[in-house]
Amino acid sequence: MSEITLKSGSILLLGVNHTTAPIDVRERLAIPISRLADATRTLAHQPGIREALILSTCNRVELLTVSDAAESPLSPPLGMLRFLHDYLNLPAEEIKPHVYEFREREAIRHLFRVASSLDSMVVGEPQILGQVKESWNVAREVGAISSTLDPLLQRAFSVAKKVRTETQIGSSSVSIASVAAELARKIFGSLSGKTVLIVGAGKMSDLAARHLIQQGATTLLVSNRTEARAEKIADSLRTPAITTGVIPFNQLHEQSHRADIIITSTGAAALGQAQIFTAAQARALLHRRRNRPIFFIDIAVPRDVAPEINNLEGCFVYDIDDLQQVAAQNQAVRSREAEAAETIVTREVELYNDRLSQAPAIEAIKQLQLSAEAVRQQELARTAQRLATNPLTPEQQAAIEALTKSLTAKLLHSQLSALRTPDDPTK
């Protein structure tokens, strides 16, 4: 297919992302959401730029524009470079090595890939679509996008939705904390009303607890050898929607039946102490819970939870290796699904290109038909005026109407056919 050039302008995308620019460059380019409207407006007002949109996230900054006329693929995007220089106070030479540039079809493809989360650091992560939508909203509010970028962005959203529904790209978690939360959902369904107990203190257990709270867990208990430390953790995780509490470490086994999910990260065995939960203790725990399932997330190395507890009916034990293994499997699934998603994007780009390339012809056909109809109406009116003294009967009027319509259609036929098949060299 030939490269398209829009009648309404030329699409150009300029940007940096996590693969092309180090964080210090991305930091200098990043535009906070509070300034996004102003930045978009400024970019749209650059000479030669008709429409503009800015996408700024922690992993990418991209400027998407439609210029007044088709630019040569070799000509530098002056308006965008001026924007970078004036608005962000960045010399073009400084960022040039990190910048990628896509034009026309490749710009459309890149936008579809970004919205579908195929260009993300974690492929399949869902946040990027929301961020693109946010940029689109801002650009619409400031009037920076219209006939070209608005439908293009809407198409990008439907492509992203298609990728989500037709592939499994976002269906599985790839971080340890989110894997733990996903497993908890497989056991308990909704985590609403569930109680999480953190035993020990650690960054990972804190992160896992936060994920579980995000998924709906409403009560958080903390138990630590140092009670003050436990209280500190409980305070840091307390919100109006979360009830927190501290279990004294010496009462852990008496009270742990209150928890549905237990996250352990003490590493007590490394200090020569016994494991925190043995099979006998787990049995007693299950008995107190009347066999309601319990999920142990053992992040400690050496392990805090005896692995044989997993053999007890109703007990599920996942240690750090298990969680990592699940995360790796999910990552592999995402990579496989990404291939299917790329195929969808390629197909959608082709379809969108086809639609764009047909747009001028459709417009020309419409204009031709309108002008022919205007001439026809004009001639009919003139004839009616001439025959004013001896007016036509309704049957005669209908016959003339049909005759003129047929004549117009036949006269236009060859021109319309030529417009409908523009690639035919004989026409």
- Residue nearer to other proteins on the CB measure, 137 or 291: 291
Q: Is 162 in the site for other proteins (CB under 8 A)?
A: no
Residue type, 174: V
* Closest-CA residue to 123 (of 180, 66, 59): 59
Sign of CA dihedral 154, 155, 156, 160: positive
Stretch that binds other proteins, among 166-174, 200-208, 266-274, 401-409 (CB under 8 A): 166-174
Q: Is 48 in the site for other proteins (CB under 8 A)?
A: no
- Please state, as a whole number, how many other Cβ atoms lie within 10 Å of the Cβ of residue 72: 8
Number of residues that bind other proteins (CB under 8 A): 27
- Give the integer Cα–Cα distance in Å for 263 and 179: 13
Q: Is 343 in the site for other proteins (CB under 8 A)?
A: no
Alpha helices in 189-278 (DSSP H): 203-214, 227-237, 252-255
- Residue nearer to other proteins on the CB measure, 264 or 330: 330
- Residue nearer to other proteins on the CB measure, 95 or 341: 341
Shortest approach of other proteins to residue 316 CB, angstroms?
5
Whether 211 and 181 have beta carbons less than 8 Å apart is answered as yes
Bond into 307 cis (ω within 30): no
- Give the integer Cα–Cα distance in Å for 265 and 324: 15
Q: What is the footprint of other proteins within residues 261-290 (CB under 8 A)?
A: 289-290
For residue 270, CA distances in Å to 127, 281, 300, 304 come to 39, 20, 10, 10
Q: Count the helix, strand and coil residues of the chain and give each as a percent rounded to the nearest 5.
A: 55, 15, 30
Of the candidates 329, 367, 371, 421, which one interacts with other proteins according to CB under 8 A? 329
Q: Is 178 in the site for other proteins (CB under 8 A)?
A: no
Q: Is 423 in the site for other proteins (CB under 8 A)?
A: no
Shortest approach of other proteins to residue 256 CB, angstroms?
17
Q: Is 165 in the site for other proteins (CB under 8 A)?
A: yes
Residue type, 124: G
Q: Given 23, 33, 58, 301, which residue is catalytic?
A: 58
* Closest-CA residue to 123 (of 341, 365, 338, 379): 338
* Closest-CA residue to 166 (of 325, 6, 345, 303): 345
Shortest approach of other proteins to residue 182 CB, angstroms?
9
- Residue nearer to other proteins on the CB measure, 267 or 314: 314
Q: Is 313 in the site for other proteins (CB under 8 A)?
A: yes
Query: Is-catalytic flag, 58?
Result: yes
Report phi then psi at 54, rounded to 5.
-120, 130
Stretch that binds other proteins, among 107-115, 123-131, 326-334, 368-376 (CB under 8 A): 326-334
Q: Is 186 in the site for other proteins (CB under 8 A)?
A: yes
Of the candidates 17, 46, 120, 172, which one interacts with other proteins according to CB under 8 A? 172
Q: Is 218 in the site for other proteins (CB under 8 A)?
A: no
Q: Is 187 in the site for other proteins (CB under 8 A)?
A: yes
Q: Is 2 in the site for other proteins (CB under 8 A)?
A: no
**Residue 20 burial by Cβ neighbours in a 10 Å radius (0-12, 13-18, 19+):** middle
Shortest approach of other proteins to residue 313 CB, angstroms?
5
Q: Is 347 in the site for other proteins (CB under 8 A)?
A: no
Site for other proteins, rule CB under 8 A: 165, 168, 171-172, 183, 185-189, 289-293, 310-311, 313-314, 316, 318, 322, 325-326, 329-330, 333
Active site residues: 58
